[in-house]
Amino acid sequence: MKYLQGRVRHYSWGSHNAIPRLFGHPAAGEPVAELWFGAHNNAPSFVSDDPRQQSYAPQGGSGELLSLAELIAADPHRVLGDDIIARYGSQLPFLLKLIAPDQPLSLQVHPSLEQAYLGFEREERAGIPPQDPRRCYPDQNHKPEMLYALTTFEALVGFRSPRRILGVLSGLDCAVAQRVRTTIAAEPNNHGVRQAFSQLISQATRPTEEEVAELVTQCAARRSVDSPSPRADALAVRIARFHPGDPGIVASLLLNPVTLHPGEALYTPAGIVHAYISGLGVEVMASSDNVLRAGLTYKHVDVAELLRITDTVAAPPIRIAAERISSVQSTFYVPVDDFELSVISLRHADERVEVKGCGPRIILCVRGAVEVWIGNEFFFINTGQSMFLSADDGAISVRGAGELLQVEAP
């Protein structure tokens, strides 16, 4: 067992206070957008035997502490176990993040396993350095992901049906809305949606900043009683405050808005366009940093590659319901083998209960304070702290009052 020190990612869209508050810290001087717990090469967590060690490390590093990646590399069979090594090699297959958007993230899509492998090989042959901003595939892994809300969490996920898109755009008497309506009405299926989306984000056909601003003005001017979707109008206006003139504002009207309440979860498979808007949540995903961006970003956008892997078939967001597997533990099962998330809710501080799980695991305390028992030895974990359990740590039991999240590979 090791305590984990998360790695901060200071992206401009992040909140200054949501993640620090979870650890009992004051607001940070710069955005704390994400906190990574895992062994991904871009930002592996640090490990420590000392629970008093700082709970998260700045982007630059953490002195002389060993990283989780180094701990695994030193003895992969002990740390990961034979089953994980047989399936994934000497790599921890999952990555856990705290994520705190204070403004909209980029519209993005993640690749399938095959697409990631081929994309990585293609960029390697092209000689694009690993840290080059033009790099879309820094690794060979897919990136299915699940978002577990700690606060109310807003997002856009997947395309609406063509009929619903036409409905949302009805009444907007501006050039860009008319073009999108014409394109989809001529082919009211996923091919028409793909064509409209392509026209919005491609350099040769994208709307001008003035056209986007005209659409935003009309969304802002529509009365709720007259609008087919006041929520879509409000989101477009909100996004425009941070990304004025960006065609992703128009694209947002084509997507499903989602609100998660604390304790609810959303699963996003490969190929699904999505953007997180606001809130504090826990992201669990395959250990990858492969992202293809479509808009609402100042980073590199590869339109051709993004359109190649994007699924434009209308589909509702995939909300995952947890299955109760014990008196204190509920598990979110997802349709991939890389990860699953369990929530352990403890209310009786004097009762010690077993936690179901095996193999390498990350445990994050999101509320209260808990004792984690391994055999006859126990370790304290408080709100915001996390622990890594090696495969050879075996079964654990817990006692306290609070809530733990456990991530493992089933």
- Cα(354)–Cα(388) distance, rounded to whole angstroms? 17
Mean per-residue pLDDT over the chain, rounded: 94
Q: Binding-site residues for Zn(2+), please?
A: 108, 110, 145, 274
* Neighbouring-strand partners of residue 381: 370
What is the helix (H) or strand (E) element at residue 205, kind and residue range? Answer: none
* Interval 315-336 mean pLDDT: 96
Tell which residue, 334, 213, 331, has the closest CA to residue 285.
334
User: Could you read off the pLDDT of 271-287 as tens digits, one per residue?
Assistant: 999 999 999 999 999 99
- Residue 405 CB neighbours (<10 A): 21
Whether the per-residue pLDDT at 350 is higher than 70: the answer is: yes
Local confidence band at 62 (pLDDT 50, 70, 90 cut-offs):
low
User: Could you read off the pLDDT of 17-56 as tens digits, one per residue?
Assistant: 999 999 888 999 999 999 999 999 889 999 999 877 767 7
Annotated catalytic residue within 9, 21, 293, 361:
293
Q: What is the pLDDT of residue 133?
A: 87
* Interval 199-212 mean pLDDT: 96
- Cα(181)–Cα(165) distance, rounded to whole angstroms? 8
Angle of CA points 141, 146, 147, to nearest 5°: 135
- Cα(239)–Cα(264) distance, rounded to whole angstroms? 24
What is the helix (H) or strand (E) element at residue 111, kind and residue range? Answer: none
For the chain, helix, strand, coil in percent to 5 are: 25, 30, 45
* Interval 383-402 mean pLDDT: 94
Beta strands in 333-395 (DSSP E): 340-346, 353-355, 361-374, 377-382, 386-389
Of the chain, the percentage scoring pLDDT greater than 70 comes to 98
Q: What is the pLDDT of residue 57?
A: 65
User: Could you read off the pLDDT of 241-269 as tens digits, one per residue?
Assistant: 999 999 999 999 999 999 999 999 999 99
Tell which residue, 139, 148, 99, 128, has the closest CA to residue 265.
148
Whether the per-residue pLDDT at 206 is higher than 80: the answer is: yes
Tell which residue, 41, 281, 8, 43, has the closest CA to residue 145.
281
What is the helix (H) or strand (E) element at residue 159, kind and residue range? Answer: strand 153-159
Please give the model's pTM, rounded to 2 decimal places. 0.94
Query: Does residue 317 contact residue 147 with C-beta atoms inside 8 Å?
Result: no
Local confidence band at 131 (pLDDT 50, 70, 90 cut-offs):
confident
Mean pLDDT lowest among 46-50, 162-166, 184-188, 343-347: 46-50
Q: Binding-site residues, please?
A: 108, 110, 145, 274
Q: What is the pLDDT of residue 325?
A: 96
> Is 9 among the residues known to form the active site?
no
What is the phi-psi region of residue 197: left when phi exceeds 0, alpha when psi lies from -120 to 50, beta otherwise? alpha
Q: How do strand 265-268 and strand 318-320 relate by DSSP bridges?
A: antiparallel
Q: What is the pLDDT of residue 298?
A: 86
Local confidence band at 362 (pLDDT 50, 70, 90 cut-offs):
very high
User: Could you read off the pLDDT of 141-180 as tens digits, one per residue?
Assistant: 999 999 999 999 999 999 999 999 999 999 999 999 999 9
Pull the structure tokens for residue 44: 């592996």
Local confidence band at 60 (pLDDT 50, 70, 90 cut-offs):
low
Position 354: which residue type?
Answer: E
